[in-house]
Amino acid sequence: MTETKWIRQSHVEEVQPEFWITLRRYGFQLNETLSAELSARDRYAEIFISADNKKVALCFSRRRSDWTFPMSDLGSTDRTRRIDAPNIIKGNRQLAALLNEGGDSARIRLHHEGNYYVGKIEPTFCCDGAEEPAADGDIGVFRLFIGEDVVLIGGGRIRAEIATALAEGLPFDRYDYFLTETEIDALEQQARFLRQYAARKSDVPVLNKQLARRRLRTLTR
């Protein structure tokens, strides 16, 4: 009979370093952990964005080429580094919208994959309904505004949902939106933005609350 060899398992999890970049007008700011991970001789970065605009990847280099962007230190008292690439932010609708949203939206968490640091670009509201109205059949997440205040965050078939809001007499003066591939994606992203709103305001948008009450009354009749 073969004796079983036992290996004691540790409950201590290995702490993974946290890498992220913050979107800035000048390009990307690397957090201190990522900055410290690089060699002082890494003075350039290549930037990749996936064809579906859902991921960004960085690759650092000691040599300049036609594909690299210069990196610099932020200052003697700041141990983070920056990638000077303003045209990348300005020229990408999704990144520019994330920068304008600010806060946590402007931060992209990265993980190490071989020679690359890869992060997910979270979708955000990059289409202005006045300049680029949603078309029939467009699926996504939208916000209704009164002035600068968000009064509703909705998801699904955008024009149909907004038509419902109009039919129910809900007041708003403009909207913005982004598209998703499916209605399930739209509802998941709507829930994410409602959670973010609730975390900031300790509440939900006023028309989301009003619609929920109306539909609850309809169900209980």
Is 210 found in the same domain as 164? yes
Check residue 131 and give its pLDDT: 94
Mean pLDDT of the chain: 91
Mean pLDDT, range 10-35, rounded to an integer: 89
Q: How many domains does the chain have?
A: 2
| Whether 180 contacts 137, CB under 8 Å | no
Domain limit, last residue, from 95, 120, 145:
120
Check residue 176 and give its pLDDT: 97
Residue range(s) defining the domain that contains residue 67: 19-120
Q: Which has the closest alpha carbon to 120: 143, 103, 97, 95?
A: 95
Is 136 found in the same domain as 52? no
Q: How far is CA 10 from the centre of its chain?
A: 35
Is 45 found in the same domain as 91? yes
Question: Considering all CA atoms of the chain, what is the largest pairwise distance in Å, rounded to the nearest integer?
Answer: 80
Is 175 found in the same domain as 100? no
Residue 209 to residue 120: CA distance in whole angstroms: 31
Check residue 63 and give its pLDDT: 93
27 pLDDT band (50/70/90 cuts)? very high
Which residue pairs from 28-36 have beta carbons closer than 8 angstroms and sit at least 24 positions apart in sequence? 28/58, 28/82, 28/83, 28/85, 28/89, 29/74, 29/80, 29/81, 29/82, 30/80, 30/81, 30/82, 30/83, 31/80, 32/79, 32/80, 34/110, 34/117, 35/79, 35/80, 35/81, 36/79
Position 87 pLDDT exceeds 90: yes
Q: Which has the closest alpha carbon to 170: 142, 151, 190?
A: 151
Residue 90 to residue 86: CA distance in whole angstroms: 6
Q: Is residue 159 part of a domain?
A: yes
Q: What is the pTM assigned to this prediction?
A: 0.82
Domain limit, last residue, from 90, 120, 150:
120
Name the burial class of residue 143, with classes exposed (0-12), middle (13-18) and buried (19+) by CB atoms within 10 angstroms of its CB: buried
